[in-house]
Amino acid sequence: MDGSRLAHGAEVVIRAPFPYFGGKALAAELIWSRLGADIGTFVEPFAGSCAVALNRPKEFDGWITLNDLDGHITNVWRSMITKPDEVAEHACHPVNECDLHARHLWLVNNHERLTARLMADPDYCEPKTAGWWVWGACCWIGGGWCEGRGGWSAVPDDEGVLALANNGGQGVNRQLPHLGNGGQGVKRQQDGNRLEWLTDWFRQLSSLLNRARVTCGSWERVCSVGTMTRNGVAGVLLDPPYSLTGAVYAQDSRTVSADVRKWCKANGDNSMLRIALCGHTGEGHEELEALGWQVETWGKPGGYQGKDERERIWFSPHFLKPKGGLFDFL
């Protein structure tokens, strides 16, 4: 099994090229069994690693709308779709601590500019920036990648040359890169020509998402019921920042999580929508259950604390009833 795929029981799960906290690759089969392959549009307002879109059933031939507030994530997927070879070229780089800090600082300082361009132009992307972001995310250990919360920044030294210094200002954290093994994602151990391997992987991802529209902004912008249902019934996967684990997200997770639940409560009885809402127990989803939403438990193995038994997915009243059996994946 190569690094672009993961064996999970009888399934072969297609992987994103970077680690992503809260990814739903292992829940994709469950989610699609409730949304159904017959939907006209699949909408993912918190795209992240795009795991559910990548692992859709082969029967699905509708449109895909992906959105993320993080400009770097949006740029990765736009670049991956249109220029996978260029992204692979810039993601194919050995682990180097100096490069990691220099690129990290550049990515943080250019995030606002990049996001503004992505929001203004639906076709804009920067494959070099995408490759650097993917490479760095795979070299980085733990959270904090490109959050810009550290005290290290580039300042002129005695000779007027920019140098990394801890001046207590807004910048990046400084830490050792992943040294225990080859790393994660694009840095996983791989025999043979790494660039050729990455190029093949990224071209596959491009092919899988060639019908996707990728937007950058707040989740509500892509949740207009009229727009989502123009092609018939729409499947909506809502995977907002969990209110109980908000420390790993840059945005106010409690506000976002509550707003998403409010939207679900208002739209759950629409027969043109099949909604899947991801979350944890104890976050206030009981009111949805009282309105006929079904809750499913799924365990995500791995991580520092093993299987997380709090993981839940709530499905709106018009979801498909389970038929049994597994989908054949793309």
Q: What is the pLDDT of residue 290?
A: 95
Q: What is the pLDDT of residue 309?
A: 66
Q: What Cα–Cα distance (Å) separates residue 300 from each residue in 98, 101, 292, 304?
A: 34, 31, 25, 11
Output the CA torsion sign for 287, 290, 291, 296: positive
Query: What contacts 82, CB < 8 A, 6 or more positions away?
Result: 123, 125, 206
Domain positions in the chain: 5-69+217-315, 97-196
329: β partners: 57
Q: pLDDT-derived band of residue 223, with 50, 70 and 90 as boundaries?
A: very high
152 or 254, greater pLDDT: 254
Number of neighbours of residue 29 by Cβ within 10 angstroms: 20
pTM for the full predicted model? 0.84
Topology adopted by domain 5-69+217-315: Rossmann fold (3.40.50)
Q: What is the pLDDT of residue 83?
A: 98
Q: What is the pLDDT of residue 147?
A: 84
Q: What is the pLDDT of residue 270?
A: 97
